[in-house]
């Protein structure tokens, strides 16, 4: 680049062609080997990378990324907590068995020698406790079920986030491959310019400095192609990581782009869809319900619990020495109880804490609704801007192509300079790159709008 600025500077333009030819020959003699050695490390053709379609990317993104696996694990935990809460409907049945050796030496009457007693006892007990009427129990189960719904919506949210990330990486990888093809086109044109300049120099219609300038352009294009290939491989690695595969197992998109349906014709519609479909909002609503049910359970703990308790035991006593009664022994008891924690201050104050917690969750949900609506509106306008940028890039590219073709004809006819042609080539090359990136950005913006509306991958 420094050499090109030197060649295009006003000072250099006043030098004679012979002087410029000598200067360029010296520079190229040193620069050319360095550039070739530097570019050779990157100019490798990409290895054979398996392709994947966009629908396969979305399916993998909703199933394989670690974040999705974490969300599923949290759902499994919520389901276990619901089962634990429902187990409160069943009576508690506890069994216990024991065996032991007993030794006893005690005085029965004053002044009388003690009596030694040794025995072996085996005992089995069975206890039953059932809270037949518990006001808090049903609310605890409802809270656990609402907590499970929260985690289900959490899974949906994790899958949606993974899907939009995978879609963006898919589009970026496709654009990276297109940019590689564009770099190949630039290298092909620079090579053609170099050959044409060499022919014109041989014919004596052009200065030898044109060949040196064209050679530098070829070197720059080769190095640019190497960098584009490196970026392409990096985008393949990012796509693999986005769908939960090891980043070193590269994968490429089967197509350079993916189409997304238009879901919102105005900002109000985008906001409406987001508030209706976003799993985060539905999860937040379920979380408020879970906390309200928990508050009801805390209120229910203020009421008495009516239950049934029973206990039965069976024992066998073998008196080995002393006085005692050998044989089996049986006992059984049953009762109906009423348990009330009404005098526990912690029970009465616990409900106020859960009520405040539920109120905070409700405010958080309101804030999330506002944030999601704003995000959807912003995504709508971002897509509109991306469309405008894409249209502008296409128009600029059309104008740049006309200019390049005109300058190429003027140079071939001998009425235009190589610098003018290179300027036109640079403008057209930049316009091609901007058009590719603008198309990519428009599709990413469309995917983001679908995501914010809660409809990506549905």
**Tens-place pLDDT, residues 26-57:** 344 434 443 443 444 444 455 588 999 999 99
The pLDDT score that the predictor gives to residue 37 is 38
Is 154 buried (19+), middle (13-18) or exposed (0-12) by CB count in 10 A? buried
- Is the predicted pLDDT of residue 2 greater than 50, yes or no? no
- Is the predicted pLDDT of residue 320 greater than 80, yes or no? no
pLDDT tens for each residue of 190-228? 898 888 888 878 877 777 888 888 899 899 999 999 999
Average pLDDT, stretch 429-448? 95
As a whole number of angstroms, the distance between CA 395 and CA 389 comes to 10
As a whole number of angstroms, the distance between CA 58 and CA 419 comes to 48
This prediction's pTM: 0.79
**DSSP 3-state assignment of 251?**
coil
**DSSP 3-state assignment of 349?**
helix
> Nearest CA to 263 among 277, 282, 280?
277
The pLDDT score that the predictor gives to residue 256 is 75
Rounded to the nearest 5 degrees, what angle is found at the Cα of 427, between the Cα atoms of 424 and 433? 140
pLDDT band at 18 (very low <50, low <70, confident <90, very high): very low
Cβ distance 214 to 194 under 8 Å? yes
- Is the predicted pLDDT of residue 232 greater than 90, yes or no? yes
As a whole number of angstroms, the distance between CA 379 and CA 321 comes to 91
Average pLDDT, stretch 248-253? 94
Cβ distance 406 to 427 under 8 Å? no
Better-scored residue on pLDDT, 162 or 420: 162
pLDDT tens for each residue of 91-143? 889 999 999 888 777 666 666 666 677 888 889 999 988 888 888 899 999 99
As a whole number of angstroms, the distance between CA 272 and CA 376 comes to 9
């Amino acid at each position: 680049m420094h050499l090109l600025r030197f060649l295009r500077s006003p000072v250099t333009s006043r030098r004679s062609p012979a002087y410029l030819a000598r200067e360029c020959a010296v520079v190229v003699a040193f620069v050319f080997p360095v550039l070739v050695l530097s570019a050779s490390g990157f100019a490798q053709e990409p290895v054979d990378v398996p392709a994947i379609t966009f629908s396969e990317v979305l399916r993998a993104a909703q199933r394989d990324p670690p974040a999705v696996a974490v969300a599923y694990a949290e759902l499994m935990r919520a389901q276990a907590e619901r089962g634990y809460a429902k187990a409160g409907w069943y009576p508690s049945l506890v069994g216990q068995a024991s065996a032991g050796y007993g030794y006893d030496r005690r005085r029965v009457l004053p002044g009388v020698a003690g009596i030694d007693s040794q025995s072996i006892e085996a005992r089995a007990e069975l206890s039953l406790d059932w809270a037949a009427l518990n006001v808090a129990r049903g609310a605890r189960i409802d809270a656990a079920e609402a907590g499970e719904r929260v985690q289900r919506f959490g899974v949906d949210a994790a899958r949606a986030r993974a899907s939009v990330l995978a879609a963006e990486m898919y589009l970026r990888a496709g654009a990276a491959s297109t940019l590689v093809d564009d770099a190949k086109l630039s290298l092909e044109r620079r090579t053609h310019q170099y050959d044409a300049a060499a022919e014109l120099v041989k014919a004596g219609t052009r200065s030898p400095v044109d060949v040196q300038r064209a050679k530098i352009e070829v070197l720059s294009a080769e190095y640019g192609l190497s960098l584009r290939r490196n970026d392409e491989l990096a985008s393949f690695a990012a796509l693999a990581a986005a769908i939960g595969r090891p980043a070193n197992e590269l994968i490429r998109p089967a197509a350079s782009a993916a189409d997304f349906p238009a879901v919102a014709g105005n900002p109000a519609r985008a906001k409406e869809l987001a508030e209706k479909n976003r799993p985060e909002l539905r999860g937040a609503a379920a979380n408020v319900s879970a906390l309200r049910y928990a508050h009801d359970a805390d209120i229910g703990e203020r009421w008495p619990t009516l239950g049934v308790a029973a206990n039965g035991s069976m024992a066998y006593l073998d008196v080995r020495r002393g006085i005692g009664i050998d044989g089996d022994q049986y006992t059984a008891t049953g009762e109906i109880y009423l348990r009330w924690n009404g005098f526990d201050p912690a029970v009465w104050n616990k409900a106020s804490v859960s009520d405040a917690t539920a109120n905070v969750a409700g405010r958080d949900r309101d804030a999330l609704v506002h944030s999601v609506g704003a995000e959807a509106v912003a995504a709508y306008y971002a897509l509109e801007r991306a469309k405008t940028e894409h249209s502008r890039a296409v128009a600029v590219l059309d104008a740049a192509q006309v200019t390049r073709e005109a300058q190429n004809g003027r140079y071939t006819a001998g009425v235009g300079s190589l610098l003018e042609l290179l300027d036109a080539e640079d403008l057209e090359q930049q316009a091609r790159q901007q058009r590719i990136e603008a198309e990519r950005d428009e599709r990413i913006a469309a995917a983001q709008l679908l995501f914010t509306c809660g409809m990506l991958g549905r």
